[in-house]
Structure 1
Amino acid sequence: MTAQIEGFYDTATATVSYVVFEAAGGPCAIIDPVLDYDAKAGRIRTDSADRIAGFVQSHQLHVQWLLETHAHADHLSASAYLKDKLGGKIGIGAQITAVQSAFRDIYNLEPSFLLDGSQFDKLFEADETFHIGKMEVKVLHVPGHTPADVAYQVDRKDVFVGDTLFMPDVGTARCDFPGGDAVLLYVSIKRLLALPPETRLFMCHDYPPEGRDVFWRTTVAEQKAKNIHVNDTADLQSFVRMRRSRDSNLSVPALLLPALQINIRAGNLPPSDEIGLHSLKIPLNRF
């Protein structure tokens, strides 16, 4: 059965979230949902997540999974909110524990914060399989952007790549976050590009060059032929040199500090204080 895929583009963060399902009335997975955050006011909204929830409800879908490709630095995860609203289990790659360890120290988180990934319902090991209804999903460990990045391969036809690849005219993801590694990213990309050429690849972001509309679907064949950073002619040394040079000139994502302390908690807010107030930490001079 061919997967039905609905993409939701969030303009504020250039993020694409997905609902993946077999047919109306059946089970589905939600991938990389966005929780809206107004950094100036410190205010959270659920408009983007509610759009997804509206689609799920209008198609009478049953949420089986809420899947994260990694702990995002550019948006807050809406997985916990959607789980409360729609049900389902939150899954992420097992290496999230390495990301939790790095950012616990950066934020000096509360002693009760656990580094075992137990904030999530399921930690996926590399090459593990599970199902969305009758559709088999294989978890591809694709580290490089972070140690915990995974891609989800649905029925061998469609792959949700997270931040490992972008559209061919945009290139590849940065590797300068804690645990990032340009060599590992190159190896991960080559694994994806070794899939059959007709395999469809679904991006987590699109930052279109001027004159191009937003688009988030491509194929292995198109990436191999046209990706500006890692096509068939790009070798490891030139890619690593390019990636490190490029990353050294990139600014820190605007929502990195708010986002990571929520995303390593599976989208849950930090514990409230004695008056019931949830607060985020902004550590100074760490990036």
Structure 2
Amino acid sequence: MSDHHLAAAAAQVEAVLQGRGRSPMVRSFFDEPTNTASHVVYDPETLYAAVIDSVLDYDAASGRTSYESAQAIVDFVREHGLTVQWQLETHAHADHLSAAPWLQEQLGGKLAIGAEITVVQDVFGKIFNAGTRFARDGSQFDRLFRDGDRFKIGNIEAIVLHVPGHTPADMAFVIGDVAFIGDTLFMPDYGTARADFPGGDARQLFRSIRRLLSLPRETRIFLCHDYKAPERDYYAWETSVGAERDANLHVHEGVTEEEFVKMRTERDATLSLPKLIMPSVQVNMRGGQLPEAEDNGVRYIKIPINRL
């Protein structure tokens, strides 16, 4: 990262700090089959809300979709009288299908993701031979966020931070004194996200993480996934900047960039692909919409052979 970009990043973090002071309420929903934590974040004063990283239930064996996980979010929102302003995606997930379009139908809210989704669309559009009818300009989303963009949930200020490395399009949403960081960090006893997908980069991931860890120690962090560390028998998805700085297995204070890149590269070489990567990416690069029906009225998920 150049001196110019470092200065810009520092200025954006400072803008976050100046806007702090209000604490949103957060209700999380954990989907064990995909190890995914979805979040409803809302302003307790105005009851305006955002849904972050929702899950569409998908049975890989049958190819059937359902809405039990998303319905739990709908029930919570309606029970608490919330008004959804945003359906936020931290990135185009490779491990679960997004339920954002269905949740928009039920609850409203603008669908938003990072502007670098166009890079993901271009790369995976080619991998899946999606054809010219698949738009690669991010037009499937209502808003494409860029680094430093500001928005509000009710009266609570929020800022978007570009944190690439896991994918080119990863974004973190800092909302009041809470950060939703997608696939960058996991719980301190589990470490960090992989960086070996097309467009991923371990060095970028390290720098993105260090940027996130420059937030105040007391900043609450909500994660997108948990897999249970070896010595832990329960799922967890909330931590803090201080806890990550002090104890994250992979990037605690004192770990150098070169040490991290070596560790992450060697570790990633041992990992299998996520079991739902084929359907997930094809759907999520389309903003959560299923591929268009073919001439027989049926939608299909493609499986490229010997490609990934």
The normalised TM-score by structure 1 is: 0.98
- TM superposition shift of 1:274: 2.2
1:37-76 matches, within 5 Å, as 37-76=58-97
The residue type equivalent to 1:202 in the other structure is F
Task: Give the counterpart of 1:11 among 29, 32, 36.
Answer: 32
- TM superposition shift of 1:186: 0.3
Aligned to 1:179: 199
Pair 1:131 & 2:152 matched: yes
Aligned to 2:287: 266
Tell me if the contact between 2:59 and 2:65 (Cα under 8 Å) persists in the aligned partners. yes
Tell me if the contact between 2:100 and 2:288 (Cα under 8 Å) persists in the aligned partners. yes
Point out where structure 2 has 5 or more consecutive residues left out of the alignment: 1-21
The residue type equivalent to 2:288 in the other structure is G
The residue type equivalent to 2:162 in the other structure is H
Matched residues in 1 for 2:76 and 2:44: separation? 13
Aligned to 1:110: 131
Task: Give the counterpart of 2:277 among 251, 256, 259.
Answer: 256
Task: Give the counterpart of 2:222 among 202, 207, 229.
Answer: 202
Tell me if the contact between 1:165 and 1:203 (Cα under 8 Å) persists in the aligned partners. yes
Point out where structure 1 has 5 or more consecutive residues left out of the alignment: none
Matched residues in 2 for 1:94 and 1:67: separation? 13
Q: SS where residue 173 of structure 2 aligns? A: strand
- TM superposition shift of 1:275: 3.0
- TM superposition shift of 1:51: 0.5
Aligned to 1:85: 106
From the superposition, tell whether residues 139 and 25 of structure 1 become closer, same or farther in structure 2 (CA, over 3 Å).
closer
Q: Deviations over 1:208-237 (max 9, x none)?
A: 124331111111111011000000011010
Q: How many residues align?
A: 286
Q: CA RMSD in A?
A: 1.0
Aligned to 2:237: 216
The residue type equivalent to 2:212 in the other structure is L
Task: Give the counterpart of 2:175 among 154, 158, 172.
Answer: 154
Tell me if the contact between 2:46 and 2:155 (Cα under 8 Å) persists in the aligned partners. no
Percent of paired sites with the same residue:
51
Aligned to 1:247: 268
Aligned to 2:8: none
- TM superposition shift of 1:100: 0.4
The normalised TM-score by structure 2 is: 0.91
Moved over 3 A (4+): none
Matched residues in 2 for 1:127 and 1:24: separation? 25
